[in-house]
Amino acid sequence: MEEKKEKIKDHREKDIEEDHKRFFPEKKENDADSEIIGVILLELGKAYLAIIRGTRIGETFDVKGYIMRKHRKGGQSARRFERIREEQKSKFFKKVIRQINESFLPLNGDLKRIYFGGNVLTTKDFLRKYKEDIDYRLRDKISDDILTADLMDEHGVRTLLKQIADLETETKLGIEKKEWDTFLEQLMKDGNVVYGENEVLAALKNGQVEKVLIQSGIVSREILDLVKETNIETVEFSDDTESGIQLAHFGGIVGFLRWK
Distances (CA, A) of 31 to 53, 196, 228, 242: 9, 28, 20, 21
Query: Do 144 and 225 lie in a common domain?
Result: no
CATH code of the domain covering residue 220: 3.30.1330.30
What residue type is 164 in one-letter code? I
Are 59 and 5 spatial neighbours (Cβ–Cβ below 8 Å)? no
3-class secondary-structure state, position 26? coil
* Positive or negative: CA dihedral 5, 11, 13, 19: negative
Q: Which DSSP symbol is given to 210?
A: E
The per-residue pLDDT for 9 is 44
Q: Which DSSP symbol is given to 34?
A: G
Query: Do 153 and 203 lie in a common domain?
Result: no
3-class secondary-structure state, position 240? coil
The per-residue pLDDT for 109 is 84
Q: Is pLDDT of 29 > 50? A: no
Q: Which of 251, 249, 246 is nearest to 219 (CA)?
A: 251
| Band of residue 5 on the pLDDT scale cut at 50, 70, 90 | very low
Distances (CA, A) of 168 to 9, 143, 160: 34, 11, 12
180's CB contacts (< 8 A; 6+ apart) are 213, 237, 243, 246, 247
Looking at the 3D structure of the chain, how many domains does it have? 2
Least confident stretch, 32-41, 68-77, 80-89, 196-205: 68-77
Residue 22 lies in a domain: no
Q: Which of 258, 208, 198 is nearest to 230 (CA)?
A: 208
The per-residue pLDDT for 30 is 45
Query: Do 139 and 35 lie in a common domain?
Result: yes
CATH code of the domain covering residue 53: 3.30.420.60
Last residue of a domain, one of 168, 199, 229: 168
Last residue of a domain, one of 123, 151, 168: 168
Last residue of a domain, one of 139, 168, 197: 168
Q: Is pLDDT of 176 > 50? A: yes
> In which domain, by residue range, is 217 found?
175-257
Query: Do 57 and 163 lie in a common domain?
Result: yes
Query: Do 141 and 239 lie in a common domain?
Result: no
How large is the average pLDDT for residues 65-84? 78
| Band of residue 3 on the pLDDT scale cut at 50, 70, 90 | low
What's the whole-number average pLDDT of the chain?
A: 88
Please state, as a whole number, how many other Cβ atoms lie within 10 Å of the Cβ of residue 124: 12
Query: Do 164 and 210 lie in a common domain?
Result: no
pLDDT tens digits, residue range 91-110?
A: 999 999 999 999 999 997 89
Query: Do 50 and 162 lie in a common domain?
Result: yes
- Within the chain, residue ranges assigned H as helices are 2-23, 76-104, 120-130, 136-139, 154-167, 172-188, 197-205, 221-230, 242-249
Residue 238 lies in a domain: yes
